[in-house]
Structure 1
Amino acid sequence: MDKYKRKFRFFISKITFKNSWKAFLALLIGLILTILSAFYIDYDAKVQAKTELTLVCNEIKTKIFTRLQAHAQLLRSASSFFAASDTVTRKEWKSFNEHGNINKNLPGIQGVGFSQIIPKNELQQHIQKIRNEGFPNYTIKPAGERDIYTSIIFLEPFSGRNLRAFGYDMFSEPIRRKAMEISRDSNLAMLSGKVILVQETDKSIQFGTLMYVPVYCNGKPTKTATERRNAILGWVYSPYRMNDLMNGILDRRDLIDKNRIHLQIYDNYSITESSILYDSQSKDKISNEVMSQNISLPLEFNGKKWTLFFTQNKERFSFFNSKVNIVLVGGFFISILLFSLLFSLLNTKLRAKQIADKLILDLKDSENRFSIFMDYIPAIVFIKDNEGKTLFVNKHMDNVLGASKWMGKTMFEIFPNEFGKKMVADDLRVLKLGYQRIEESIIQLDNEIHHYETQKFIIRQDGQKDSLGGICLDITERKLAEAKVKEINQSYRNLADSGNILVWSSGLDKLCNYFNKPWLEFTGRTLEQETGNGWTEGIHPEDLNRCMEVYINAFERKEIFSMDYRLLRYDGEYRWIQDIGSPTYNIANEFIGYIGHCQDITEREIAKETIKIKNERLILADLDKDRFLGILAHDLKSPFNAILGFLELLSVNIRNYNIDEIEEQI
């Protein structure tokens, strides 16, 4: 019994070794491809993450640079405020800053101030002047002998931390002084290097920087650096606590936290601990061990250089790591499954024969379905070899062109003329370039010319020469319809040009693409000048914004609109125009733009103005009438009251009076 078992195992092993080496090879290839795919996905994930990080980092850099420009513009406005005034008081400076609503528009600014230059011989006079303004303890800090003093005399908001900076001489500190001198000599907004602001207390100390813009004396020349030094009056400036500034510039939840980005800003281009200005993770306490890739971007503002150093959290790669694991597991599973399948197929001749027979039947069935489909498709279909000889034509092509006689022939053999040469050249061009789409006219068996849209393409077959396939769709009706539409459009344009109405049309882009002849004669301009937005150049400046608002709003809602405006006529006179526009649609009821017509209503507007003036005069006359009647009623009221009173008296005592007494009383 054991002997037979050993023979059976030997027989099976022979079959496996002889027939299954291809399956093992497929398994090996599958495993290799799986590993390579995993490495590729991992590499692609890193490249994609690097690209995304670069885009986000550049966006952050742009936001910082844009905000610095806005701060510079604010200080430039403050400098202009000094230039526009002989003197600026503390109250005026406060009002200027409050009206600017700076904290809302540019959050993160510690304040906006003015530092005045004080000659040494005017020091005591200056100190006394400020003390007389209500600051008895005012003095310039730090104390000491210097040729030139500067003092922060204005700073808003003038409260909290900023009170510590009042009277500080920034020119006495080298880093600030360097920025102030460069700003003075170049007349540019200039950032200082890394400093600790005098506004800092013992708690929550932040690194800081300052931006300076020079203020020159009015009337003095400032073209050269020497002239600017002689004309300098002081500097408007803004101090920045870097954490507050960056929180104001960046939406942390959107750019920093959402993307798990760690941002560090360094003074100049040296990435050292001593030059760091800002660290976005100082509060979050996220360990650097979880950070992966990094990007360093330079930022230059008017010659001042910062380095933006970005690092990204490894958690961003968790999704891609899961994809790598899926590829590995899936690849191993598919490789083993493919190995099992090949092993079974290669060692089962019957199964192979069954599959082969089934494939042959499927192929025959597919060819049969293809033949039936090709015969009943309502289009011309053909196949040619690489020399342009016809290999296959469908039933429809034979019915309309008698193409069954073309089998095995080139088009030049069928049509030995220029048409045949052109067709052969087209076929060879397609075999070289790969694709062609043309429109052509062909005479059919009924001797009628039909228009076709022909698409030719290459049919590639493994181990065989390329063939050429083609499909021709009869577009005769479409061509006739297009010609009819073109004829109708031309008729409409001729009709529009023959009248006195001004006509225009516009497309989906809201830009005008047509103006009729009366319009061009009215404006005295060419069609090229009027198309697009050119026609708006003739609208009266007072009407332009209103007209464009009406036009754009109606366009968005696809509604009819009517507007009156003044349009410049060729003779230089503005004429009142009534413009009525209507949305237009194509045959498929798709919105394609607007068409409008205009007419001159200047006389109507003049008549309306005349009626308005007359109405105003009538109203004034009516008021005068009421005023006159009031006066008349008042003047006549007294004598009538006397008469009525006397008559009432007579009615009571008439028996006590004789006729002579009554006459005498009257």
Structure 2
Amino acid sequence: MDANVSHANELAELEPRRGYLLALVVLLGALILVFMAWKGARERELVTANAEFVNRANEITARLQQPMTNYELVARGGASLFASVARPTPAQWQAYVESMRIQPRFPGMVGLGFAGYIPGAELDDLQLQWRDSGYGMLQIRPHGIRPVYGPVLYLEPRTPENVEAVGYDMFSEPTRRAAMELALDTGLPQLSGPVVLIQDLGEQKTGMLLFIPLYRGGGVPGSRMARRQAVQGWVYVPIRLEPYLQAALGSAYREARFRIYDSTAGNERLMFANHAGGDILPAFRHSTTLQQYGRSWRIEFESLPLAEAAPRLQTLENLLALGLFACLLLYGIALVLAHTESRAHTIATLMTEDYRRSEQRFRVAMQYSAIGKALLDSDGRIVEANPSLGAIVGIEPHALIGVRFDTLFEDDEPGLGGAGGGTDAHGVHRTTRRLHREGGMPRHAQLTYAPVPGNVGQDIAGLVQAEDVTERLRAEARVHALNRTLEARVAMRTRELSQANQELEAFAYSISHDLRAPLRAIDGFSRTLAERYETVLDDAGRGYLSRVRRAAARMGELIDALLKMSRLSRSELKLERVDLSRMAGEIVEELRMGDSPRAVEAVIEPGLQVVGDATLLRNMLGNLLGNAWKFTRERPDARIEFGVSTDTEAVPEFFIKDNGAGFPQQYVDKLFRPFQRLHHEGQFAGHGIGLASVKRIVERHGGVIRAEGQEGEGATFFFTLPGLGRH
């Protein structure tokens, strides 16, 4: 039995994995098919591109042969001239060459010339004959005594380079001599190996020469010995290789990538390359051999890189990428299906296990919960109750089954509701009811009714939770009584404080009113005394009298400042949007007008606005800016600055900074106290009320103010106000 259960469990675990295995098989199969199709198409494309490349190379090879045939025909025309005339004059040779128009018709052909076959014993006779015919002195180069000479006698057209070549002994140079002897011995046209033409000695350009042998009598003797005896010379064509190739290939000259090697007799020599090679890797290579008048040319062709030689491969690469994407998409779909199947199997298993555990948790929560719980049917009868509910109502849990839940309480509520309760959007109802317990004091329970579904066949309509809140309600009642007592005490203290403030205000008004009468009397009598008895009093008496009058005036000013400061605490705030920048500018202008001789630099940051009482804020700025103006009086470079500091991460602060007298930082706490002064009045006049008024105005607006200073270097006042903004 256990073996069967184990086997069944293994099959159940294997079932979800089959879908993943099938998805993997689908992916591998799709990838194999895509790669096989791509590989076949790629190979066919490469074969096609290679065939096109080879055909193009063969076409270029064929085109290289045609110009040389034309050069041979031109040279044979010159040989025909020698056949008709024993030796044509230079003028006749010039006329023939000019009639052929060699240079425009045959690019690469430097000219058409004749080189004589001169044994060493006949060289002097040739030079004498040449001079007697009026051709000038024939200079043979290079100098030296040789058995046979092959000097250039005629070379047209008569360009400076060709004229310079006349007299050059081509038989003295090995490469030219080999071609000339081979042409002489075979009686056939012969092309030389790569040489530097006489015309190009300074530029080192690659060239070649085509030789056609000339024999006396016009024909070609039958034997090699006879040819040697009948030889007259050679008609030859000097050819520059690069122009020759350009004329032969046309536009293909720049498009094709090839190298030409002279491989005659197995000795390879690079003649020409129209590309430098480098790091470019060609897609295809092709080698062909071209026979040119006794010379063997090996031509190596290279294609462009694969992306350019076979451009359709890019389409195949895109198709491959698309195919791979389709494979991955197909695999993804199969994988999603497999995952869905596995997930469904897992969810089904978990739901079964979760249902079992949920039922177990519910039973444990019912059994061991400290809160009383009961399941009710549609008639409100108890289906199941936990021990905590039995302890709350004083009845055993098994005895509660079948009892209507409402009968356990003294107050009668219809249904599951109750006075003072409430029901939320989910149908959960909460209320507090009084318990009906025999013997003992009344108890109160907080009840929470919630609808719950039951199993099929069960008549369960809801769950009710009961919590004994008797002690909590008693504590709340005691707290409410205490709160009422505290509220009465606060109201009484408020009335007492209000009466004390009114008495203080009346006292301050009375003191200021009563003090003004004797001050006026002191001031009046002292003024009368000074006017009437000025001649009687000496200087000391007049000084004492003046000091009495000044003290009375200062006392009056102090009384006015005290009344003004008391009004700051009583006046009602009229909040509005205030432009502090404009207000500060107006105050500075007023200070300038009142103290015009001074030159003070005032820097005011524009656009600073707050919400506050305009009158109080003007008073505050007037005091701060007036202090800065006053305490910079002894500085020739006085400077006052008003702006906003953003150095801190907290609320930005306004600041008013000056470079005046400053103050010791250790006495900063005395600045904002009434009648406290840090400077002697003889040095800087004042009442000691201004900064105290500033502090009250800032605090009434919900802000704070502080100061930083250093004696002799100036002071800075920082304050915050609500509604800071810029425009």
Q: Which band: TM-score by shorter chain?
A: 0.3 to 0.5
TM-score normalised according to structure 2 size:
0.42
Q: Which has the larger radius of gyration?
A: 2
User: Could you say which structure has the greater relative contact order, defined with CA pairs below 8 angstroms and 6 or more residues apart?
Assistant: 1
Q: TM-score if structure 1 supplies the norm length?
A: 0.45
